Amino acid sequence: MEIVRACAGHLDGIMDIERASFPDPWSRGGVEVYLTDPHGAILAAVEGDEVLGFAIYHVSFEESELFSIAVAEKYRSRGVGRALLERVLVEAARAGAEKMFLEVRRSNASARALYKSAGFAVCGERRGYYESPRENAILMDIELDLVDLEPFELGDKE
């Protein structure tokens, strides 16, 4: 498995995972803009042509946000999500972010465990934030200066 900056050729695989993972998936167009967003990116965990998982994030000066992370069901619990998240933290820090925020459904135990183990801490809660089903969002954040900045190269965008 390798983690690369996603390109147009990964979009079908990303959308399959997005639709299978979330009750309220993003549209294809909504995901696609992050392939070329100068302040954000989609990282994809790939094996050959297959997309195993992806993460979408955005950096705005010293703050950054994790918008989405998902792994295809058959590849879960093998470290793919952790590898994606760790790479997102490094990329955001390299882009100048000092902090990253995220929102997660209160009931999403696996994602909350992943974020906690990566160093995120709960910093708030938004009532009724999610639709279908309606649920509170837990807000979490992490200081990116805690991240170990290992140098690495991401694949180029197509």
Ligand X SMILES: CC(C)(COP(=O)(O)OP(=O)(O)OC[C@H]1O[C@@H](n2cnc3c(N)ncnc32)[C@H](O)[C@@H]1OP(=O)(O)O)[C@@H](O)C(=O)NCCC(=O)NCCS
Catalytically annotated residues: 103, 115
Instruction: Tell whether residue 5 is a contact of ligand X (CB under 6 A).
Output: no
CB of 25 to ligand X, least distance (A): 10
Question: What DSSP line would sit under 4-38, residue for residue?
Answer: EE--GGGHHHHHHHHHHH-SSPPPHHHHHHHHH-T
113 in contact with ligand X (CB under 6 A): yes
Length of the chain: 158
**Of residues 47-76, which lie at the interface with ligand X (CB under 6 A)?**
69-71, 76
Q: Say whether residue 23 binds ligand X (CB under 6 A).
A: no
User: Minimum distance from CB of 75 to ligand X (Å)?
Assistant: 7
In angstroms, the CA 87 to CA 123 distance is 22
Q: Which stretch binds ligand X (CB under 6 A): 26-34, 86-94, 110-118, 140-148?
A: 110-118
Residue 154: closest CA among 84, 61, 101, 102: 84
Which is closer to ligand X, CB of 51 or CB of 114? 114
Question: Cα–Cα–Cα angle for 84, 12, 41, nearest 5°?
Answer: 40
Asked if residue 68 lies in contact with residue 56, where contact means CB atoms within 8 angstroms, the answer is yes
For position 106 contacting ligand X by CB under 6 A, the verdict is: no
Count Cβ atoms below 10 Å from residue 37 Cβ, excluding itself.
Answer: 14
Pick from 101, 108, 119, 136: which binds ligand X (CB under 6 A)? 108
Q: In 3D, which of 138, 136, 143 has the Cα closest to residue 120?
A: 143
| 27 touches ligand X by CB under 6 A | no
How many residues lie near ligand X (CB under 6 A)? Answer: 19
Q: Does residue 121 belong to the site contacting ligand X (CB under 6 A)?
A: no
- Note the residues at the interface with ligand X (CB under 6 A): 21, 69-71, 76-82, 104, 108-111, 113-114, 117
